[in-house]
Amino acid sequence: GENVEQHPSTLSVQEGDSAVIKCTYSDSASNYFPWYKQELGKGPQLIIDIRSNVGEKKDQRIAVTLNKTAKHFSLHITETQPEDSAVYFCAAIFTGTASKLTFGTGTRLQVTL
């Protein structure tokens, strides 16, 4: 069935280092892949998204890459800062499900000083 796997479940990096979170999806016809950041007690906030006709997208310190052949996409955060500490979720839309997103299980990122 529809599935999104996300790794790692926890990630600790030092301030200024880069962080990479990876997701794989099951439906090769999926065409939209958003990333969300969730802070404690808050709802998820969209931070970046990518469509299947694009291989990479950047927004300041955040980038997402998509490999359609391998069916995986990754979030890259460079020059990490303490305020980047949060839980990050990847998601994908599967064909035939209209706007129904399937989410990964989340990655807790901790940026240490």
Partner 1 sequence: DGGITQSPKYLFRKEGQNVTLSCEQNLNHDAMYWYRQDPGQGLRLIYYSQIVNDFQKGDIAEGYSVSREKKESFPLTVTSAQKNPTAFYLCASSMQSTGGQPQHFGDGTRLSIL
- Residues contributing to the site for partner 1 (CB under 8 A): 4, 6, 9, 31-32, 34, 36, 41-46, 49, 51, 89, 93, 98-101, 103-106
Give 1 or 14: the residue with its C-beta nearer to partner 1.
Answer: 1
Judged by CB, which is closer to partner 1: 17, or 54?
Answer: 54
Nearer to partner 1, 12 or 18 (CB): 12
Nearest approach in angstroms of CB 21 to partner 1 is: 13
d(CA 3, CA 17): 30
Q: Are strands 107-112 and 19-25 parallel, antiparallel or unpaired?
A: unpaired
Q: In the structure encoding, which two tokens stand for residue 25, read together?
A: 């999806």
- Shortest Cβ 14–partner 1 spacing (Å): 25
In the complex, the smallest distance separating the C-beta of residue 113 from partner 1, rounded to whole angstroms, is 26
Do 89 and 9 touch, CB atoms closer than 8 A?
A: no
C-alpha closest to that of 48 among 57, 101, 39, 71: 57
CB of 70 to partner 1, least distance (A): 20
CA dihedral 63, 88, 54, 57 (to 10 degrees): -20
| Identity of the residue, 40 or 113, whose beta carbon is nearer to partner 1 in the bound complex | 40
